[in-house]
Amino acid sequence: MLEWMKKLLSQIGTIWGKWSVVQKIIFAAILTGAVVGIALLFTVSSSPSMVPLLGVPITDQTVNDRIVLKLDEEGVAYKLNPDGRIYVRDEKTARNMRSVLIREDLIPSGTDPWAIFDVERWTLTDFERDVNLRRAVTASLEQHIKALSDVDNAQVSLVMPERTLFSSEQNPVTASVVITPRPGSDISSNRKKIEGIVKLIQFAVEGLESENITILDFNGVILNDFEGMESLDRLELTKRMLKQKKSLEVQYTNTILTSLQNVFTPRRVNIVNIDIDLEFINKTIATEEHFPIVRREDNPETPFSELETVDSITLSQNYSSESFEGTGLIPKALRGRRGRLLPPTRI
C-alpha cells in the first residue's frame, strides 16, 4: 500500500514539475472551484426546504411588519425575500400560521382567498383539484354577472360538498351572490332580471337547484325572494295596464280630433277627456279534438295515396233494454164500453 502511494506521489510530482506556471494556476483554480462547489452542494442539500406562507407577495410594509411580529410571537422561524414573500420551515407550519393570520385578521386586503393554493408542486391532490375547479367556476360566474349592464360588481361564493355514496346523505350545492346594482338600474325590483341571474348561476354549476341560490344586494336585501314579491308583481302589472289604457286614450283622442278638425275648424273642436274601460281578465279555453283513426298509412314512395281512415268515430254509446213478464194492472183502454173488464191479457 505504501509503495503504491509513493509511486503515485512521484508521478504527480513529475507531472507537476513539467507544467508551466500558467498551467499550475489554472489547475489550482479548477481544484478550488470544485471544492467550493461540493461544499455549497452539501450545504444547500442539508438545509431544510422552505415553503411560502402566502401565495402572493406582501407589498404593504405595515401589514408585512404586523405579520412578522406575529411570527415572532408564535416562535416561528421565517425568511423574508426582497419581493415581499415570507417563507417558513414546512407546509405544516405554513398551514398553522395561515389559520392564525385569518383568525387575527392579518391577511392583506385584496388577497385572493384561494391564493394559498397557488404554490408550484410536482403533484396535485384531489382536494386541490376540487379547489381549482371551484375557483374556475366562481371566477367565470363573476365575469358573466359583471358583464350585465345592470350590475356594477359581483361576488360569488360556491359550496360544493364532497360526493357521498348514498344520495339521501348528499348535502346540496349552494351559492350565494352579492351584487352591486349600477346607478339608475331597476334590477332590485325587476323579477325577470333576477330570474335571469338565477338561471345563469344554476346552469353554470352542476347539481345546483334554484332554491339553494341566494342573491343579495350590498344592503343585505334578498333579491330572489319571489314569494315576497307578489305585491310588487301586482303593482308592476297594474302599471302596465294603466300605461296601456293611457296609450289607447291618447290614440283615440288624436284620431277623433283629426277627423273632426278636417270638417270643422280646429278652434271649434276640442275633446276634454276620453275614458276607456278595459277589461283585463284571463280566459282559459279548453278544447278536445278527435282525429280519424288511420287504418292504413300512406306510402310516400308511390305516386298515389293508400291512406285509409275511419270516417266517423263513436265517442260514447249507450244501450238499454227492458222486458216484462206476468200479469200487471189493466189499463183503462182495455175496459169494455159498459165497464166490463176484458179477459186478462199477457204482456
Contact present, 31 and 23 (Cβ < 8 Å)? no
Instruction: Find the angle CA(261)-CA(267)-CA(273) to the nearest 5 degrees.
Output: 75
Concatenating the DSSP letter of every residue in 43-62 gives: HHHHSPP-EESSSS----HH
Quote the strand ranges of 53-150, DSSP E: 78-80, 86-88
Quote the strand ranges of the chain, DSSP E: 51-52, 78-80, 86-88, 151-159, 173-181, 208-217, 294-296, 308-309
Nearest partner of 172 among 191, 159, 181, judged by Cα: 159
Residue 18 grid coordinates = 513539467
Neighbour count for residue 296 (Cβ, 10 Å): 10
Q: What are φ and ψ of residue 162, in 5° steps?
A: -70, 150
* CA dist list (Å): 112 to 56, 57, 86, 117, 304: 9, 12, 16, 10, 74
What's the confidence (pLDDT) of residue 117? 55
What's the confidence (pLDDT) of residue 294? 80
In which element (H, E) is residue 3 found? Answer: helix 2-18
Angle between helices 230-263 and 191-204 (to 10 degrees): 130
Residues 202 and 253: their CA atoms lie apart, in Å, by 49
Question: Can you give the pLDDT of all 347 residues of the chain as single tens digits?
Answer: 567 777 777 777 777 777 787 877 887 888 888 888 887 776 655 444 677 777 677 777 888 888 888 888 888 888 888 777 888 888 778 777 776 776 677 777 656 555 555 555 555 677 777 777 788 888 888 888 888 888 888 889 888 888 777 777 888 889 999 999 988 888 887 888 888 899 889 888 888 888 899 999 888 888 887 765 566 667 777 888 888 888 888 888 888 888 888 888 888 888 878 888 887 777 788 888 777 778 788 888 888 888 888 877 777 888 888 877 766 555 555 555 555 555 555 54
The residues facing 87 across adjacent strands are 52, 79
